[in-house]
Structure 1
Amino acid sequence: MVIPAPVAKLAAELFGTFWLVFGGCGSAIFAAKQVAQSDNGATTFQVGIGYLGVALAFGLTVVTMAYAVGHISGGHFNPAISLGAAVSGRLPWKDVPGYWIAQVAGGLSAGLMLWIIASGKEGFERKGSMAANGYGDHSPDGYGLVSVLIAEILLTAFFLIVILGVTDAKAPAGFAPLAIGLTLTLIHLISIPISNTSVNPARSTGVAFFNGNGAPAQLWLFWVAPLVGGAIGGLIYVTLFAKEGSEDTQSELA
């Protein structure tokens, strides 16, 4: 049985986004903070992966799924990337709604699985414990709305510029997923303390409603800012770096 190409593309986006949210947010939920005691119980020490580990986890999800299914759908896994791809001419505008639906469905499915698994631990409280994004009181380090808005727009724009650059046909072949994954890692290293890092509306939506604690009410920002940043990044790349009408530019991202 041959799956029609449009269906395969949407399935690739759904599974890719699921893996991004499950792997990235899962690392934050289950592994970021772990404390162990010495044999005599006199001392405790941190054995969790911390911010660095979570940042690497998000980067690794993108690397692995971009190699796995990027050749099928372009490996967006992010509504802001799909918007930037459409703005830059890499994705037909008619495909954007389907990509967004698949990505949000993948994110919500991952959030559900994370909630089910996390609930299996006695004493688990989902409110504030599902790696949701936020500003103000819900920012990890207390950054306000304007700071989070600027950070999310700026980082998403640069993410798009990198993605469009490394997936150009003139870029070194085969290295795009690595460059994209490392860029997402860097973005998280910068902004986990600011907003818990979104740059991806599907990632934010995937856990917001399971987290509660103000995350659903703040979700609007984590749609608006990444989408604005994605559009800006796409415009900057096609204006400054892409040759108009060039046949050497790939139509897909990864």
Structure 2
Amino acid sequence: MTLTKRLAAEFLGTLWLVLGGCGSAVLAANFGGDGNPLGIGLLGVSLAFGLTVLTGAFAFGHISGGHFNPAVSLGLWAGGRFPASDLLPYILVQVAGAIVAGFLLLQIAKGGGGFAIDPSAPGAFASNGYGVRSPGGYTLAAAFITEVLLTAFFLVVIMGATHGRAPAGFAPIAIGLALTLIHLISIPVTNTSVNPARSTGVALFAGAGAMGQLWLFWVAPLVGGALGGITYAWLRPANE
């Protein structure tokens, strides 16, 4: 597969992830107001992120590998599964796809009555944050540990599920369920990133507060991705 087609698949897959996951948070999480049974809440948003990765991996995984996340690309490189020459192009198109998704989501949201972004609110426009911008008021240290730890385990699941000895054809299901679980754990802490592109795509439209904290949602997932990739590479049998 040519690099151009692989990059196009990564662009579309990341766009789909951000549009589906962040779109569920912005448009449907609290639809109708607090307590309205039509709102999907934390569980629904967690499932939406998992489903976007699951469906995106089935759609694009055979073309580009279905990373949709700079931390995943870095982790796969650290684990010996991805060439260094493709790392920067993948990250650039992933970020571009996320930004386009954020822009499109904003246009959709503005079409509804009464929509407005409060830049000071925790999770504004599905953005990530710590301290006063954490949904649960969690500290910078707690947010950093959460993002590193969960991204590392995400890479371990990805590399294990796509291993040659893993059951064939089930990798997207395992990866999607892993991302669902990650969101169930960490939405209260950081509004869940584990993906620098996803964080960037909405932070650009969420105001100065989100942009001021965006650095953490690059540093922590990248550190976690690298640790996860290195850990799985160490775990695998020496003769592989």
TM-score using structure 1 length:
0.90
CA distance in 2 between counterparts of 1:81 and 1:50 reads 27
CA distance in 1 between counterparts of 2:31 and 2:203 reads 23
Aligned partner of 1:22: which letter? L
Q: Relative to 1, partners in 2 of residues 1:243 and 1:214: Cα closer, same or farther, differing over 3 Å?
A: same
Say how many residue pairs are matched: 236
Q: Which aligned pairs between 1:72-111 and structure 2 lie closer than 5 A? A: 72-111=63-102
1:58, 1:185 within 8 Å by CA — same for their partners in 2? yes
Q: Secondary structure at the match of 1:243?
A: coil
Structure number having the greater helix percentage: 2
Q: Secondary structure at the match of 2:125?
A: coil
1:130 equivalent in alignment to 2:130: no
1:219 equivalent in alignment to 2:214: yes
CA distance in 1 between counterparts of 2:33 and 2:65 reads 42
1:60, 1:181 within 8 Å by CA — same for their partners in 2? yes
Deviations 1:124-143 (A, max 9, x none): 21234310000001000100
CA distance in 1 between counterparts of 2:194 and 2:80 reads 21
Displacement of 1:213: 4.6
Q: Which aligned pairs between 1:182-221 and structure 2 lie closer than 5 A? A: 182-221=177-216
Displacement of 1:155: 0.1
Match of 1:25 in 2: 22
Identical aligned pairs, as a percentage? 61
CA distance in 2 between counterparts of 1:122 and 1:36 reads 13
Match of 2:138 in 1: 143
Q: Secondary structure at the match of 1:130?
A: helix
Displacement of 1:209: 1.2
Displacement of 1:14: 0.4
Aligned partner of 1:209: which letter? L
> Larger radius of gyration, structure 1 or 2?
1
Aligned partner of 1:62: which letter? V
CA distance in 2 between counterparts of 1:36 and 1:147 reads 29
Displacement of 1:71: 0.4
Deviations 1:10-45 (A, max 9, x none): 0010000000000000000000002379xxxxxx74
Unaligned runs of 5+ in 1: 38-43, 247-254
Q: Secondary structure at the match of 1:121?
A: coil
CA distance in 1 between counterparts of 2:41 and 2:33 reads 14
CA distance in 2 between counterparts of 1:136 and 1:20 reads 26
Displacement of 1:123: 2.5
CA distance in 2 between counterparts of 1:45 and 1:203 reads 27
Unaligned runs of 5+ in 2: none
CA distance in 1 between counterparts of 2:101 and 2:238 reads 39
CA distance in 2 between counterparts of 1:137 and 1:48 reads 24
